[in-house]
Amino acid sequence: MMLHEDEIPVDETLVRSLLKAQRPEWAGLPLSPAGAGTDNTMYRLGEDLLVRLPRTPGNGRSVRKEQEWLPRLAPLLGCPIPEPVHAGTPTDAFPLLWSVYRWIDGDEVGPDTVRDWAAFGADLAAVVGRLHRIDLMGATRAEDLSWYRGGTLEPCEEWVGGCLDDCRAALGSELDVDTLERLWRAALALPEPSGPHVWLHGDLKPTNLLARNGKLHAVIDFGALSVGFPDAEHATVWDLPPQARRAYWDASNLDEVTWARARAWAIAVGVSGISDYRHTFPAFVAECRARLEAILADAAAR
């Protein structure tokens, strides 16, 4: 499934050709699809490895920072994260950087894999807190470590407004876009964050979290790794059940202003996902819509 105009097609034949050229000792291992998101395509390689290939040149820029920073962050996080074991170089057939990682056993987070959502929310808050307390080690909010979700809301006003209009046109009879827009604009009027920059995962949605034995086990996909303000980091809690969301808030000790800005980021990412992928990636659109519906349910309950 192609999602982007500049996407580079990937299949098993291509992956095997890359392995034969660069890691021939792995080229004969079993290879099977292991999922694909908006930015990357994955293949499981043997029992212990994962091949991850960016979909577009823009996505490819995230590969180098993962290879550079994940080995330095891993010992400090207290939970498994991807471990790069090969830095793939571009070829004529695939002109982007790519990676091979250690396979992390675990299940996608969901109602069938998490036993106690309140405990899960508290555990996620602990991981996020540890990440945000890690020394920046000289990293700054520049180049590949500068991503819009680590900034402020105001620069996003124009495109979020367009996405809200798209959602209103497509789903206005099914989704209360007017309330979403009111919450978004209320957050725009709040003071901008003034705290220090921190390390950010950037996309802590359930598909980037793994559970084992009913609990949070690992955090994956650091393609959005960046440095900046932490507000947007908290936005994906609206992808989790209310018990997890409340426990996360309590454990993180977030104030109302930070929570309102986090909710605005959740709205921004949700409406843009629907606007950008409504005709190409229905599963992702369903995730975005569920997030927006959770925000509306929370707002109605207050």
Residue 3 pLDDT:
65
Residue 27: half-sphere exposure toward Cβ, Cα within 13 Å: 12
How would you write the pLDDT of the chain (302 residues) with one tens digit per residue? 666 677 788 899 999 999 999 999 999 999 999 987 778 889 999 999 999 998 887 767 788 899 999 999 999 998 999 999 999 999 999 999 999 999 999 999 999 999 999 999 999 999 999 999 999 999 999 989 999 999 999 999 999 999 999 999 998 889 999 999 999 999 999 999 988 999 999 999 999 999 999 999 999 999 999 999 999 999 999 999 999 999 999 999 999 999 999 999 999 999 999 999 898 889 889 999 999 999 999 988 77
Q: Find, among 129, 145, 280, 154, the residue nearest to 223 by Cα.
A: 145
Q: What are phi and psi of 293, to 5 degrees?
A: -65, -35
Residue 38 pLDDT:
73
Residue 271 pLDDT:
97
C-alpha 229 chain-centroid distance: 16
Cβ atoms 200, 149 nearer than 8 A? yes
CA–CA distance, 243 with 245 (Å, rounded to integer) = 5
Q: What are phi and psi of 153, to 5 degrees?
A: -75, -35
Residue 4 pLDDT:
66
Q: Can you name the residues that pair with 50 across neighbouring β-strands?
A: 44, 101
Residue 2 pLDDT:
60
Residue 37 pLDDT:
74
Work out the widest C-alpha separation in the chain, in whole angstroms: 59
